[in-house]
Structure 1
Amino acid sequence: MVHTIPLAHALDDSHLSPTAPAPVAPAPADAAALMTADTARYHHPLYLSAEQLDADRVRFSFREFTGRETEPSSPLEMYRDPALTSEQCTLIARQYTVARVLWSKRRMRVQAAPLLETAALRWSVWTIAHDTMMSRFAEFATLPDDRWRSQVLRLLDAHRVARQMAADWDDIAEQLSVVVDDQHNAVDDWSDEVDLAVAAAELGVDIQGWLVDHVSAYQATPYYQRDTPLVARLVKEIDEQRARLADVAHLTADHDTGRQLAPNRF
């Protein structure tokens, strides 16, 4: 199937379609006239043609990218070829810029599709674990005093499960953040960046409410170890719950319960 920038692509096997028109690159001269037999060996393998739109713009046509090709990069040897003019080299370089944008968008969608499927399941499991934890804490308000210690044990178990589910979520969220970051790094213009929420919506996945941070938020440094984003948010909630119950234990002289509720005991 032939795709011509900036027309939209047909749906592909990942059930995702591009979210924005492909870029139109500026050109100093008539594109068709510059693309001669001398330039053919330097074209991208999926390149089809170049069409001059007006004095400043050219539209490139390519066969459909799979996203599994090598990242498009201008062949350096063309700059040493005496048969090519500087205008031809410039146009070929712009051809590869457009190719890289199309390739990066396609690759991002192909890579994100299976991750989003896994993420949807993990977010559901995390939500159940978090809701259970919140319910266990809320139950203290109506429990008789003789059941508090058993409820503390149930709450501690809920804390541990919620933390594991949060860590599992952050693992898949980091993988999604890497896919997004790779696509953004492959393009020069922010308008060519693909938003994860848009790609997810095309796949039929609603990511509203999901916590997927920038890739840097998941990377530890040699000098600073930190919790990943969802785990960090959960730990804050757990510490608040334990502090509240520890205050009650202190005021009622229940020191054993107070020791059980020391912050960050997992």
Structure 2
Amino acid sequence: MVHTIPLAHALDDSHLSPVATAPVAPTPVGAAALMTAGTARYHHPHYLSAEQLDADRVRFSFRGFTGRETEPSSPLEMYRDPALTSEQRTLIARQYTAARVLWSQRRMRLRAAPLLATAALRWAAWSIAHDTVIARFEAFATLPDDQWRSQVLRLLDAHRVARQSAADWDDIAEQLAVVVADQHETVDDWSDEVDLAVVAAELGVDIQGWLVDHVSAYRATPYYQRDTPLVARLVKTIDEQRARLADVAHLTADHDTGRQLAPNRF
């Protein structure tokens, strides 16, 4: 499959966002001629052609990328080649910029696909665990007093299961966040960044409601440890539930239940 990508303007036939770069200087002979006059040895292996769209825009065409190739990078040798003009060096460099965008987008799709399949299963498990936590807490409102202690134990069990499900989710979410961050860091312009939801939709995976934060949210700092995003959200829910039940235990002088709801729960 042939992919084309224009420098600096509208979408190409691969539906990938364009590379946003400084305008290519207009030349009398145009990009096509400049890219065939002694520059072939510097072209990216997937490069097919260059088309001067107008004075400021050039469209590069490439064979399809798999995402497994080495990251496209301008050959340093071209900067030491006296036979090349500055216009040719500029076009070659921008050819590699365009190639890098297409490669990074394909690599992201390649890396994200198996992660999304695993993530779908883990989010489903988390949803069940979270719903169980909510349901067991809400059951206290209609539960007879003589069943409260056994329900507290069931709630604590639900908390532990949900905590593990949240941790499992954050593990796969961090891997997805790394894939997204790697693609974004590879391109020069935000318009060339690929949204994870777009990739998921292409694979038929609905990620609406998923919590995938920036990769930095999953990394501990040298100064303090912190819960990962979904675990932190769950801990807030658990703390609120425990505080409510502890208040009831205090008001009803149920000290045994109060001790069950003490801190340091995990």
Q: TM-score range by the shorter chain?
A: over 0.9
* Alignment coverage as a number of residue pairs: 257
CA deviations on 1:128-173 (whole Å, 9 max, x unpaired) are 0000111111111111111111111100000000000000000010
**3-state DSSP of counterpart to 1:49:** strand
The separation in 2 between residues aligned to 1:2 and 1:183, in whole angstroms, is: 21
Deviations 1:208-232 (A, max 9, x none): 1100000000010111100000000
Equivalent position to 1:20, from 16, 19, 32 = 16
Q: Deviations over 1:86-119 (max 9, x none)?
A: 1111110000000000001111111111111111
TM-score (norm 1): 0.93
How far residue 198 of structure 1 moved from its aligned partner, in angstroms, is 1.1
Shift of the alpha carbon at 1:124?
0.5
Q: Are 1:24 and 1:57, in contact at CA under 8 Å, matched by a contact in 2?
A: no
Q: Does 1:60 align with 2:60?
A: yes
- How much identity, in percent, do the aligned residues show? 84
Amino acid at match of 2:195: D
Moved over 4 A (4+): none
In structure 2, C-alpha distance between the alignment counterparts of 1:135 and 1:216, rounded to whole Å: 33
Which of 2, 13, 17 aligns to 1:8? It is 13
**What is residue 74 of structure 1 aligned with on the other side?**
74
- 8 Å CA contact 2:19, 2:97 repeated in 1: no
Kept in 2: contact 1:133–1:159 (CA 8 A): yes
Q: Which moved more, 1:92-101 or 1:197-206?
A: 197-206
Q: What aligned pairs does 1:148-167 form with structure 2 within 5 A after superposition? A: 148-167=148-167
Deviation at 1:7, TM superposition (A): 3.2
Could you say if the C-alpha distance between residues 121 and 135 of structure 1 is closer, same or farther in structure 2, counting changes exceeding 3 Å? same
Q: Which moved more, 1:254-263 or 1:86-95?
A: 254-263
**TM-score when normalising by structure 2:** 0.93
Map of 2:8 onto structure 1 = none
Shift of 1:260: 0.8
Aligned residue identity for 1:222: P
- Tell me the residue number matched to 1:146: 146
The residue number in structure 1 matching 2:109 is: 109
Task: Give the whole-Å Cα distance in 1 for the aligned partners of 2:162 and 2:82.
Answer: 65
Unmatched segments (≥5 aa) in structure 2 = 6-10
Partner of 1:173: 173
Alpha-carbon deviation of 1:257? 0.8
In the alignment, the residues of structure 2 paired with residue 264 and residue 135 of structure 1 have an alpha-carbon distance, to the nearest angstrom, of 23
Q: Gaps spanning 5+ residues in structure 1: where?
A: 10-18
Task: Output the CA distance in 2 between the equivalents of 1:188 and 1:22.
Answer: 11
1:41-64: CA deviations, max 9, x gaps?
111110011111111111101000
Q: Matches of 1:54 and 1:92 in 2, distance apart?
A: 18
